[in-house]
Structure 1
Amino acid sequence: MARLIGSFDWSRTSIGSLCEWPPYLRSAVDVMLGANVQIVLFWGPQFLALYNDAYAPTIGDKHPHALGKPAREYWAELWTDLEPLLRRVLETGETVSAKDRPFYIERGRGPETVYFDISYSPVHGDDGAVAGVFCIVNETTELKRAQDIERQLAAIIASTDDAILSSDLDMTITSWNRGAERLYGYGADEMIGRSVLLLIPEDRSDEEHELFRKISRGEHVPPYETKRRRRDGTFVDVSLTVSPIYGGAGEIVGASKIARDITGKKQFERFQAMALGELKHRIKNILSTVTAIARQTFVNGEEERAAARTFDERLASLARAHDVLTNGNWEEADLRAVIDTALQPYSPDRFQISGPAISVGAHTVTALTLAFHELATNAAKYGALSQDGGRVSINWHEDRDASRFVLSWKEEGGPNVIAPTHRGFGSKLIERLLASELRGEVRLEFAPSGLICEVDAARHAEGTEAS
């Protein structure tokens, strides 16, 4: 800026050529150019602008064109705000100062509101009149925004129902919000400066030490559920989120913890488990009653007893389908779990099972379990599972939109297969369950090397039917 000011043609301005500058103007410019703080000097009634290197970045693309120009020209967008300040100093000779003074400015990055600490002082001429305004400024925009964010975060932390506390790496508590007071029963004055281990059940102290070891190493700690001890000695179920706190040099200096009371969630889970257990028990009782009725009904001869055994096995298969659902959320289950459960009566060494992890709806679970029971029963009587060395390959994949899946059952190593002259109940059941119930397509091929069953079905048959 010293070079630019020295080479500028000041003779074309109201200040006059450089060699004619009065001593007080030279002194003001020398002070300005030698300073490391942001300074702009507005001179004369037109407020012609002179500024130093520290100030130049503050005005963005106005530099260097604003040098020697009236302030009204290059500070036009904020002139109605700036002019009264400059005229006050020029006309009264008093110094005007302010902290975080907002200004609306355009400097090449679009219109923005920025903030400055300002000190506008008069520069007096030989006659004692004010000749110019010496403006020392310090842009505080980023600091102001950071402080605003900090205040907002502090307000959120103070008003949230979640318990939020921070501690250093020695596990000493350094902050404690009202949510923590409500959850744990301790006031901030009681907990700040004390160890966070006061809140940890004795059987979970190792968990807390390992947590801080991970934080100090910069490792990610995913949210998890645990227990914490209240002031009255009782325990509360919480969902805990832990984040590192960084120091000014970027080093990890502590941990921030957000704990949410999940007592209601845990109570619901316990009630849900009890209700599902009761439902499972009642379903089994119903199936047992149906089985007893069937056994009492089919008692006349060997053929009837064989039918009763087949009926029992199908009911047992249906019970296993309900086991899969009650072990989950009753709405869906993993396809591999469905297959493994359906094939429990048989040695797993006889099956080669592969496919991606996908979930299927409750209706699909029941239909698949019964269908696999029929396929396995047929294989044990007539197909690959009826002799040593026979195996069954089961594989599946999703279609493109993941709403359907394609599954294949393929038998190998069994006796030569001869296509039946008529379809038995098992074949009809398979086709009904997989084709009709699941809105799918079924292909049964009695190849000489072994039965092949291929099905293209909906993952969630209930949704298909509803639509």
Structure 2
Amino acid sequence: MTSSPGIRDANSASPNEVGERNVVGATALAIAPCDPKELLALIVESSQDAIISKTINGIITSWNRGAEQLFGYRAEEVVGKPITILIPQDRLDEEPAILAKLRAGLTVDHFDTIRRRKDGSLIDISLTISPIRDSDGTIVGASKIARDVSSRKREEERQRLLLGEMHHRVKNLFALTSGLITMASKSAASPAELADSMRQRLSALAAAHDLTLPSLDDPQGRDESATLHQLLEKVVAPYQEESWQRISLAGPDFPVAQAHTTKVALLFHELATNAAKYGALSVHEGRVTITTKAVDDQVNIAWEETGGPAIAKQNTSTGFGTRLIDSIVRGFPATVSREWGAYGLCVTFEIAVRTLQPEKAVTELEGDSAS
């Protein structure tokens, strides 16, 4: 099959000559009519899409500059060779089906597939294949137009991941909300009290959820895990005073896996709510210190109230807040201990590092310790 002028094949001009001819051709277009075949050749050669022709038996006969950029081969490296050099082993069955359609005179229109570059890397492409006929109408070959769709594929995959994550989160939040309503309804004195307590707890969940939402503007679609300090600051913010911090944070920060952010938020929302009703945050002088530290392979989080109302004796009641905290602790799993001092409550949680933190963060910590 004879290649059209301007399309690179084994006997075509050098890249420099092609570039010079394109400049001359472009200039000629501006001042005089151009031969249609020459114009078509110039269009093909300057296209950013890969445009390839092959025989009806799948042998490459021409190769434009777009194909060179997409696949990494120069024209002289591929012309005369089978098109299957571009097809991964697990997709070789596509070519017989394509050739069968071409021999029947059919166009293979826009399908997504994967092809292999010269360096062995794989690339997502959109492929259109059309039969080439001679002057007698006999099918003598095919033209292939390939377009790099890697960016679109990455975006589609990112959207699938985001939708999957949001579906998972919504299901979890509905289940958690249902459990909260069931537990709260057993201890609420009135519908108004139930509504108020649920409103506060849902606000805490919303704050934790907002911290860990993946950014829709992030091209990499990273899942941003919240840190322990970020979560605690968000949850206790409604109980702080403008002029001073009634609740202070001390100790190292730790990443928190997305699956545990709502649990952490609810734990410390319950402690803050109880402190505001009965403990240190119910009086002006009261303070709370939240201290974090790492002990072996455990993360230790201590909630310590000071300056609160005098406590006559240790509180052994099992109200809703206590049952909720114990339920969350079992869900991690973690351990909890409570101590009632004369002027405040101290609650300590111990959670395994591997439980609290995302897998990536744990891996990084192990790498740091090894070095």
Alignment TM class, shorter chain as reference: 0.3 to 0.5
Give the TM-score of the pair, scaled to structure 2: 0.45
Looking at secondary structure, tell me which structure has more strand per residue: 1
* Structure with max Cα Rg: 1
Q: Quick one: higher RCO (CA 8 Å, sep 6+), 1 or 2?
A: 2
